[in-house]
Amino acid sequence: QVQLVESGGGLVQAGGSLRLSCTASGSISIFSINRMAWYRQAPGKQRELVARIWRSSFTNYADSVKGRFTIWRDNTKNTVFLQMNSLKPEDTAVYYCNVASSLSPEDYWGQGTQVTVSS
């Protein structure tokens, strides 16, 4: 079994910052994790990609967060982070950790952590 444990969500005013983290544990090794990512979903909206990072450390971002968010990973701890700066009310959503492994035909998902940005 593989578990993704997320933390760092909360309530913040516009212009503030939060840092999310997600740690993969269980029957998984860093050698099988090809990609880690963050998605988000607001009520009534489709789930959307926020940022991705590959084992090579190559990254990409949604246009809406580029320049404000930064994704990185600590391969020794199977952990991915998302630093969110200059937060806007439009960033309010449930944020989900996602892991793609070469040992599974399906991605792994965390339970989600709520991020609320007040105006």
**Tens digits of per-residue pLDDT, 90-106?**
999 999 999 998 888 88
H helix count then E strand count, the chain: 0, 11
Sequence-distant (≥ 6) Cβ neighbours of residue 31 within 8 angstroms = none
Residues of the chain with confidence (pLDDT) below 50: none
